[in-house]
Structure 1
């Protein structure tokens, strides 16, 4: 799993108990997962179809930096399924895990699902190639 993005927990992100509001965390997860899926499928014509199990493990407090780890779980004909792990940057403690986030590519005019032409293997190779060009992976 690659951790691709970070956010600072601000006062407006808190619930009545002084920790990160679950609704705000879900908003962030949907946005981060969508950006990840858009980059993977190389299109922004995606819609969120489903978010599966969400498990909250530990709180995030004001001033904490949270980071989002994302991974491709499955690739369908018109869809991509991702997993998102949110953790505390400093402690590495899991804040929450959102599993089975499904995005579907749609035609921009009809809004009907369309095939994206990608496979999981092709996306894995695309990621490897990208990491090599960024010098984040050995070229051996």
Structure 2
């Protein structure tokens, strides 16, 4: 799993229990998954279709630094399936895991569109071509 983004937990990210609000974390995960899929599929019209069960395994508190990790598990005809894990950067304790996030590539009319990708590519390799 590659961890791409780090977030610093600030007071505005907390719930009444003084721990990281789950909705805020899901917002960050959804944004990270979208950015990752857009770059992989080379299509800015890529959207979230599905998120499987979300497993909150621990919490984060103000001042913690967390990191969001994503890993490709499958390339579909119009989709990209990702797994996600968020952990505390300093302790490596897992905060949340999501087994399946499905992102779909859309055409200009908003319909699923084949992307032609079959494996993970890195921008640095595309630029070298």
Same fold, TM exceeding 0.5? Answer: yes
- Mark the runs of 5 or more structure 1 residues left unpaired by the alignment: 134-140
Which residue of 2 is the match for residue 85 of structure 1? 85
Matched, 1:34 2:34: yes
Q: For 1:63 and 1:129, how far apart are their aligned partners in 2?
A: 33
Q: Quote the Cα distance in structure 1 between the aligned partners of 2:37 and 2:123.
A: 16
Matches within 5 A, 1:53-92: 53-92=53-92
Show CA shifts across 1:12-59 (max 9, x none): 110110000011111011001111111111111111100111100111
Please give the residue correspondences for 1:41-52 in structure 2 after superposition, counting only pairs within 5 Å.
41-52=41-52
TM-score by structure 2 length? 0.92
Show structure 2 runs of 5+ residues with no match: none
Structure 1's consecutive aligned runs of 4 or more residues displaced over 4 angstroms after TM superposition are none
RMSD of Structure 2 on Structure 1 (CA): 1.5
Matched residue SS, 1:19: coil
Other-structure match for 1:99: 99
TM-score (normalised: structure 1): 0.85
Q: Determine the C-alpha separation between the residues in 1 that align with 2:107 and 2:33.
A: 20
What secondary structure, in the 3-state scheme, does the structure 2 residue paired with 1:113 have? coil
